[in-house]
Amino acid sequence: MRDIILNTTALPHLLTLLIALPLVGVAMMAFFKDDAAAKRIAFWTTGSEFVLSLPLYLWFDPATHYMQFVEIVPWITAPSINYAVGIDGISLWLVLLTTLLTPICVVCSWTSITSRAREFMIALLVMETAMVGVFCALDFVLFYVFWEAMLIPMYLLIGVWGGANRVYAAIKFFLYTLAGSLLLLVAIIVLYFEGGHTFDILALSRASYSETLQAWLFWAFFAAFAVKVPMFPFHTWLPDAHVEAPTAGSVLLASVLLKMGAYGFLRFSLPMLPDASQRFTPAILALSVIAILYGAYMALAQSDLKKLIAYSSVSHMGFVTLGMFVRNTQGVEGALLQMLNHGITTGGLFLCVGLIYERTHSRQIAHNGGLSKSMPRYATCLVIFALSSLGLPGTNSFVGEFLVLVGSFMYSKTIAALATLGIILAAVYLLGMVQRVAFGVSIEKTARLNDLNWCEMATLVPLVILVFWIGIFPNPFLEPMHASVAHMFEVMDRESVLP
């Protein structure tokens, strides 16, 4: 582990603290029986987690590609597995996105979760530990532990607190992801033997592997990451899971879990297996473009709001994988920013759907017409998120999608043209949705709805601010990425074998 600096000036165990803090909250809940206390504990835990994660950005050194806030403790001696955590420009924003969205999820579940709220909050907090852990892990086994551990709380979130068809959706989600992940486990073990008997992610990224091995490993990685992203044709669990999950589950699923797949491609597939990545680029790009168009096409046909957003996620995540695999700086940085954007925008959209579902108990577009009269604040937020999602200039997604398109244009004009078609389709289905929900004919039921209260506004406003902040001043968000992305390309170009 030479590629490391230890930020001893900052809090020495900051990342460990962030990983452990939610579990402390879980332990505290054991002492309180009632659900109200559990909700308060969850709020204060995730809130302080967010505040504590801010120093990651404040003390982050954007000039270096080195891992920062690193901590390494031996965990298992033989074979040597370490508890190694650290972040760089690739993982920084994903950690912050996670710590921002979890308290929002706690607040948005405040009134909507009425049964077994304590268990619900425990599941959310365990999720947060696992999600932060995934983005910080510098040891492959540690990464895998967090990656898989997340399935347990998510399975319960969907299956216990979900909608009518929740059991089916939960098991589908679990088995799909598990099947993919287990192949990743074998790939990790193979890498251990081929990459110099280590599970250190950075060391494994410097070793070189034969072409055939790379091909095998690439598809094993692909199985795990493509299911999670999800890429066409492995996306079928996503609409089910999204529709059935409670709002908080949908938000975390869309905003963080899908990013884990994309993060996997960026952290493992590209730097560790550069030859295979290059060789299979056409296949991945084709799947990405299919996902963009197919997701958008499916979204056009949906009458259920959650399904519509779920398919739009498939489409938008297609941009992310597209940007990564065109393998140039614009594409990758655009993809990274787009991951962040999708987390903010889609998270916001799912929150909006959750809010209206609480009021009308229907997610059908037809049942929720003309909300702008009765709920102006709600309609404003919904329109902002929808416009952001379709990539209106001035909002966050414009910057990300623009960068991705520039990157793909440099790779192939055809692909860029096809991807642009996806943006046009996004405008069609999102504006269609906004028109009917916000401005359509107001039916009797929706005319008497209460607008958002301050508590509900509090969940949406931070995301609205970020939509415009990233849209207007993207530089502070792009800056920390430059060094790490540049370094990733250096790693991909390596020829020599390092032990």
Partner 1 sequence: MTFVSTADLLAILPELMVMAGGCLVLVLAPVISEARKEWLVYLSLAVLSAAFVVSYWFMGPLIGSPRSVFSGLYVLDAYGAFWKLLLLVVSALIILLAKAHLKLEGMDLPEFYAFILLSLAGMMVMVSGTDLLVIYLGLELMSIALYIMAGFKRYALRSLEAAAKYFILGSFASGILLYGISLLFGRTGSTTLVGIREGIAGLPPGDPILMLAMGLLIVGFGFKVAAVPFHMWTPDVYEGSPTSVTAYMAVASKAAGFAAFVRVFMDALGGAQDSWQMLLVACCVATMILGNVVAIAQTNIKRMLAYSSIAHAGYALIGLVAADAFGIASVMLYLALYAVMNLGAFAVVTMLRRGGLEGDEIDDFTGLARRNKWAAFVMLLFMFSLAGIPPTAGFIAKLYVFTAAVGAGMAWLAVLGVVFAAVSAYFYLRVVMVMYMREPGETVGTPGYDVRVVASPATIAVLLIAALGVLVLGVFPDPLIQAAQSAILPLR
Residue ranges binding partner 1 (CB under 8 A): 75-79, 119, 141, 144-146, 148-149, 151-152, 155-156, 159-160, 166-167, 170-171, 174-175, 178-179, 182-183, 185-186, 189-190, 192-193
Nearer to partner 1, 79 or 394 (CB): 79
In whole angstroms, the minimum distance from the beta carbon of 154 to partner 1 comes to 12
Cβ neighbours of residue 453 closer than 8 Å, sequence gap 6 or more = none
Nearest residue to 369 (alpha-carbon basis) of 299, 440, 317: 440
Using an 8 Å Cβ cutoff, are 66 and 5 in contact?
A: yes
Nearer to partner 1, 20 or 492 (CB): 20
- What Å distances lie between residue 138 and 70, 86, 208, CA to CA? 9, 6, 18
Nearest residue to 91 (alpha-carbon basis) of 142, 47, 133: 133
In whole angstroms, the minimum distance from the beta carbon of 152 to partner 1 comes to 6
In whole angstroms, the minimum distance from the beta carbon of 79 to partner 1 comes to 7
Helix (H), strand (E) at residue 87: strand 81-87
Nearest residue to 210 (alpha-carbon basis) of 189, 195, 192: 195
Nearer to partner 1, 193 or 454 (CB): 193
In whole angstroms, the minimum distance from the beta carbon of 56 to partner 1 comes to 24
Nearer to partner 1, 179 or 498 (CB): 179
Please, which residues bridge with residue 137 across strands? Answer: 85
Using an 8 Å Cβ cutoff, are 227 and 180 in contact?
A: yes
In whole angstroms, the minimum distance from the beta carbon of 284 to partner 1 comes to 22
Nearer to partner 1, 163 or 462 (CB): 163
Place of tokens 């996306």: 235
Tokens found for residue 135: 């983005």
In whole angstroms, the minimum distance from the beta carbon of 30 to partner 1 comes to 11
In whole angstroms, the minimum distance from the beta carbon of 15 to partner 1 comes to 17
Helical ranges in 361-453 per DSSP H: 371-374, 376-389, 396-411, 413-434, 444-447
Taking the C-alpha atoms of residue 482 and residue 469, their distance in angstroms, rounded to an integer, is 19
In whole angstroms, the minimum distance from the beta carbon of 186 to partner 1 comes to 5
Nearer to partner 1, 121 or 460 (CB): 121
Taking the C-alpha atoms of residue 445 and residue 431, their distance in angstroms, rounded to an integer, is 23
Nearer to partner 1, 192 or 311 (CB): 192
Taking the C-alpha atoms of residue 192 and residue 433, their distance in angstroms, rounded to an integer, is 49
Nearer to partner 1, 174 or 294 (CB): 174
